Chains A and B, each alone.
Chain A
Amino acid sequence: MFCKVAGIFVYSDQADIAREIIGFARLNGRQSVVLTLGEKDAQALQNAGADKIIAIKGESEMIENYAQAIAVMLKDESAELFAVGATPRGRDLAARVAGYLDCAMVSDIAAAGFEGDQIVCTRMMYGGAVQQTEKLSGLSVITIPPGKFATAQGEASILSLELPADNRVSLMETAPIVKEGVDLSKAEKVVCVGMALDKAEDLQIARDLADVMGAELGCTRSIAEERHWLPVESYIGISGAVIKPKLYLSMGVSGQIQHVYGIRDAGLIVAIDTNEKAPIFKAADYGIVGDLYQVVPMLTEALKK
């Protein structure tokens, strides 16, 4: 056994999230065993307060390909929970492990804790309109988005472990993502355009405002995926960027639930739209009901002063 009592097994391809999940384990008085792919990632987490780090060695560079072997390990170790960072790789691995174990799983928790032996998780449904609380018993899997828990400190020992890989999916090539847009998740201020913008040239109105505000430019999913006026990285929402700027200002955005999911942690939300019944106003701190073509240039001028 890798730990003396049933503990939380942790994995994230992002070291920052792994640190937060170790913090979650500590917070709940649980031991944590961190899985990494290779020694290098293991060393990066050595001071993160885990009880043990297992550096997986094997024939694949893709962590997902160890899902079945990890499922077997969790069972053998009588693990209490497999907590995985909610990234594309992590979600894939987590759900595959849950599938092999045929156990309960809660994805992208908003909050998680223990009530005795049960794990209690809250998550968002219907694009954020609904909050659901679920209780899990026995060995379960959850995925945890970044920024949910405080990190911990403390040295952990590293154990190298050979695991069999499922090599049916083979990695041919890895290319860095050429991000055409900016990283909105780190922006302090964001100006967001929606479908009330008539043509691509009119993006200039938004750019001018963003420039005087020192803000980055974002958009709704339809602007990026249907009209292709801005790169995919620029769209905000449940399947796009989830942002937490100090100030978010939207123009011509109706405020569909999926979009609002992406801005719920913004410090201040400002909306400009002609439709006073648009749901964005319910999500906003400040609003002006008016045509963006009139309001936005006036706002830009006012901010120049």
Chain B
Amino acid sequence: MSQVIACYKWVADEADIRINADLSIDLSKAKGKISDYDKNAIEAAIQAAAVLGGKAVGVTFGTSDAKPSLKDALSRGLDEVCYIKAQEASQADGAATARALAAAIKKLENVSLIICAEGASDTYSRQTAPRIGAFLDLPVVTSVSKMELTGNTLTAVRKLDDCLQTVKVDLPAVVAVLPEINPAPIPGLKAVLAAGKKPVHELKAADLGVDLSPLSTISEIKGYIMDRKNIIFNEGDLAEQVKALVAALRKEGVL
């Protein structure tokens, strides 16, 4: 049976990130989530697997923190998840991530299609799909806003800056989808309950036989604070506040 792969990443929710006074980052309050755009990649894989009559399999590379992602991903309709559980994931760059995912995918049989989102909501590097393609020497189609499968051929519409391209490729192939490709429905209760019974395959770094150390060296991480005036007009009633705003904008010369 053919397998359609959805790569996804468990990330810290950026809305929960706290920036300390010294600009250091506090992730201790941050809940995990499946990267927003990866939900569209998962849905695209499920739809493609249905057309191809195959299985939709999630592949994720994460630390032990990523465990809650398994049930979440399966409740979205994936048939199985392959979980590369490795501490190296916390330090991984684009190269290490793609190496890990590609090595795990290589272990699976009859892979016809690998679907990623354009980028993850933490790093948004947009490297994973092209790098996996290069590692496995498979053809790659990125920026996909629409795709259609006929037999063994994928026809995709790519949304670029200046044009829409329609391209064709024979499977197997790697695709990076844009979030607009589908609405990624929120799973219902029944799907959530069924998720607990679906298979999870756990892989360790040593099972992959590839180097998972990053190639770039992080020398500094700090919070970004917008340097803005932060003036709230709160004197008097709304009419006076509006008047004060208009006066300020006129003074700035932006009207």
Partner-contacting stretch, out of B2-10, B61-69, B75-83, B120-128: B120-128
Given contacts A99-B130, A99-B135, A135-B219, contact A290 B238 (CB under 8 A): yes
Asked if B14 and A257 make an inter-chain contact with CB atoms under 8 angstroms apart, the answer reads yes
Which one of A14, A108, A129, A302 contacts B242 once the chains associate, using CB atoms below 8 Å? Answer: A302
Within 91-143 of B, Cβ neighbours of A (below 8 Å) are at 93-95, 98-99, 118-119, 121-135, 139-143
Q: Is B34 engaged at the interface, CB distance under 8 Å to the other chain?
A: no
Per-residue interface assignment for chain A, residues 90 to 112, with 1 indicating a CB less than 8 Å from any chain B CB and 0 otherwise: 01111111111011111110000
Residue of B nearest to A143 (CB): B126
Given contacts A92-B140, A298-B242, contact A286 B163 (CB under 8 A): no
Q: Interface residues of B: mostly helix, strand, loop or mixed?
A: mixed
Q: Is A264 engaged at the interface, CB distance under 8 Å to the other chain?
A: yes
Which one of B118, B134, B226, B233 contacts A96 once the chains associate, using CB atoms below 8 Å? Answer: B134
Q: Is A1 engaged at the interface, CB distance under 8 Å to the other chain?
A: no
Q: Is A47 engaged at the interface, CB distance under 8 Å to the other chain?
A: no
The interface residues of chain A lying within 8 Å CB-to-CB of B155 are: 172
Partner-contacting stretch, out of B43-51, B190-198, B201-209, B210-218: B210-218
Partner-contacting stretch, out of A21-29, A162-170, A198-206: A162-170
Asked if B139 and A281 make an inter-chain contact with CB atoms under 8 angstroms apart, the answer reads no
Within 205-243 of B, Cβ neighbours of A (below 8 Å) are at 214-224, 226, 228-234, 238-239, 241-243
Number of A-B contacts (CB under 8 A): 263
- In the assembled complex, the Cα of A170 lies from the Cα of B176 at a distance in Å of 16
Asked if A99 and B245 make an inter-chain contact with CB atoms under 8 angstroms apart, the answer reads no
- In the assembled complex, the Cα of A299 lies from the Cα of B248 at a distance in Å of 13
Q: Is A211 engaged at the interface, CB distance under 8 Å to the other chain?
A: no
Give the size of the chain B interface in residues (CB under 8 angstroms). Answer: 84
The interface residues of chain B lying within 8 Å CB-to-CB of A148 are: none
Per-residue interface assignment for chain A, residues 8 to 32, with 1 indicating a CB less than 8 Å from any chain B CB and 0 otherwise: 0000011000000000000000000
Asked if A126 and B133 make an inter-chain contact with CB atoms under 8 angstroms apart, the answer reads no
- In the assembled complex, the Cα of A20 lies from the Cα of B95 at a distance in Å of 27
Asked if A95 and B17 make an inter-chain contact with CB atoms under 8 angstroms apart, the answer reads no
Q: Is B90 engaged at the interface, CB distance under 8 Å to the other chain?
A: no
Within 135-174 of A, Cβ neighbours of B (below 8 Å) are at 135-137, 140, 166, 168-174
* A179 to B: closest C-beta gap in Å: 10
Asked if A88 and B158 make an inter-chain contact with CB atoms under 8 angstroms apart, the answer reads yes
Asked if A168 and B143 make an inter-chain contact with CB atoms under 8 angstroms apart, the answer reads no
Asked if A170 and B218 make an inter-chain contact with CB atoms under 8 angstroms apart, the answer reads no
Asked if A100 and B134 make an inter-chain contact with CB atoms under 8 angstroms apart, the answer reads yes
Asked if A107 and B94 make an inter-chain contact with CB atoms under 8 angstroms apart, the answer reads yes
Q: Is B15 engaged at the interface, CB distance under 8 Å to the other chain?
A: yes
Q: Is A207 engaged at the interface, CB distance under 8 Å to the other chain?
A: no
Given contacts A104-B95, A177-B159, A289-B234, contact A247 B249 (CB under 8 A): yes
Residue of B nearest to A305 (CB): B246
The interface residues of chain B lying within 8 Å CB-to-CB of A295 are: 238, 241-242
Asked if A285 and B216 make an inter-chain contact with CB atoms under 8 angstroms apart, the answer reads no
Name which of A140, A173, A189 has the most chain B CB atoms within 10 A of its CB.
A173
Asked if B159 and A88 make an inter-chain contact with CB atoms under 8 angstroms apart, the answer reads yes
The interface residues of chain A lying within 8 Å CB-to-CB of B214 are: 104
Residue of A nearest to B248 (CB): A286
Asked if A134 and B130 make an inter-chain contact with CB atoms under 8 angstroms apart, the answer reads no
Q: Interface residues of A: mostly helix, strand, loop or mixed?
A: mixed
Residue of B nearest to A100 (CB): B134
Q: Is A267 engaged at the interface, CB distance under 8 Å to the other chain?
A: yes
- In the assembled complex, the Cα of A291 lies from the Cα of B88 at a distance in Å of 48
Asked if A64 and B95 make an inter-chain contact with CB atoms under 8 angstroms apart, the answer reads no
Given contacts A126-B12, A134-B219, contact A288 B242 (CB under 8 A): yes
Which one of B37, B169, B217 contacts A239 once the chains associate, using CB atoms below 8 Å? Answer: B37
Given contacts A87-B161, A303-B255, contact A168 B139 (CB under 8 A): yes
The interface residues of chain B lying within 8 Å CB-to-CB of A87 are: 160-161
- In the assembled complex, the Cα of A164 lies from the Cα of B174 at a distance in Å of 21
- In the assembled complex, the Cα of A66 lies from the Cα of B254 at a distance in Å of 47
The interface residues of chain B lying within 8 Å CB-to-CB of A124 are: 124, 224
Asked if B167 and A136 make an inter-chain contact with CB atoms under 8 angstroms apart, the answer reads no
9 A-B pairs with least C-beta separation: A99-B134, A99-B131, A95-B130, A104-B215, A168-B139, A126-B14, A96-B130, A95-B127, A285-B229
A residues lining the B interface (CB < 8 Å): 13-14, 62, 64, 67-68, 87-89, 91-100, 102-108, 120, 124-137, 140, 166, 168-177, 189, 213, 225-226, 232, 238-239, 246-247, 256-258, 260, 264, 267-270, 276, 281-290, 294-295, 298-299, 302-303
